[in-house]
A and B are shown apart, each in its own frame.
Chain A
Amino acid sequence: MAVERPLSPHLQIYRWQITMTMSILHRVTGVGLTLGLFILTWWLAAAATSPEAYQQFRVIVSHPLGIVVMIAFSYAMFYHTCTGLRHLLLDTGKYFTIPEIYKSGYTALAGSFVLTAVFWLAVIFRG
């Protein structure tokens, strides 16, 4: 940097709030999900390569460690979706009062847990 101007936001002077944590986590999960796209790529490329390559993919993702990673990615996906919907709601310019912003925040957080649970229950009890 050629000039040392102060940069916003001054993270260090803010008191911790759930709202800023959710905003940061929206970004973190977004970047994480971008990495998850390479698992999607792997899945599709394995299917196009050979039955053995596809089987190898299945073995790795169904390994206990693989399942932990898959649960993490699915939670990140549902979290990013719920907070993303919240961001779309806020883009309308409404619901910016403090109680409303907390309400939508906690609703999105609860939604992310519910959706992840529903998804994995569906995986377990399929058919």
Chain B
Amino acid sequence: MRASLVKWNKGGLKNPMARARGLGSAHEGLHHWIMQRVTAVLALPLLIWLGFSIVSLIDADQAAFAAWLSLPWNAVLMILTVITFFYHAILGCQVVIEDYIHNEGFKLFKMLCMKIVLSTAAVVCIFSILKVAL
């Protein structure tokens, strides 16, 4: 992606071989594919736990929720849920951006924005959990 940003310009000065080099696979796709599956499988038990937790917390006010989240088991599972869900979302959004945005510069921009915004939200979640739990 990064290489093609430079290489697909229309300038006619480049040797065709110089354009072609570096446009192949970055050999990182398999790791992405595997981590998408790993996070998907991890998300399943975490979702079941989150579902039961939300049902039990429907009537909870802030004090009750804080008491619940202060239990180490719940805080740890909540942090794991946040990491797993956000990681999975970043991987998924990356594929969507790669598939549907064909302007290389705009693709790079969107990709960075998406990853920065989602990573920031994940950090906000984890900080909030720790602030309530500790």
Contact = CB atoms under 8 A, between A and B. Distances in A.
B108 interface: no
Contacts of A38: 121
Nearest to A35: B89
Given A47-B128, A54-B65, A40 B85 contact: yes
A13 interface: no
A1 B92 contact: no
18 contacts: A2-B8, A2-B10, A30-B93, A37-B89, A40-B85, A41-B125, A44-B82, A44-B125, A44-B128, A46-B62, A47-B66, A48-B132, A51-B62, A55-B62, A81-B47, A119-B55, A123-B54, A126-B59
A122 interface: yes
Interface string A1-24: 111000100000000000000000
List the 10 closest A-B pairs by CB distance, nearest first.
A54-B62, A48-B128, A51-B62, A44-B128, A48-B131, A34-B89, A2-B8, A41-B121, A30-B92, A122-B55
Contacts of B51: 119
A13 to B, nearest CB: 18
Contacts of A71: none
Contacts of A81: 43-44, 47
Contacts of B1: none
B96 interface: yes
A30 B125 contact: no
Nearest to A115: B51
A33 interface: yes
Given A47-B66, A50-B62, A51-B61, A37 B128 contact: no
Nearest to A50: B62
B56 to A, nearest CB: 7
A106 B65 CA distance: 38
Contacts of B56: 126
A31 B118 CA distance: 12
B15 interface: no
B58 A123 contact: yes
A119 B54 CA distance: 10
A44 B92 CA distance: 23
Given A47-B66, A51-B62, A40 B82 contact: yes
A85 B111 CA distance: 26
A45 B124 CA distance: 7
A41 B10 CA distance: 44
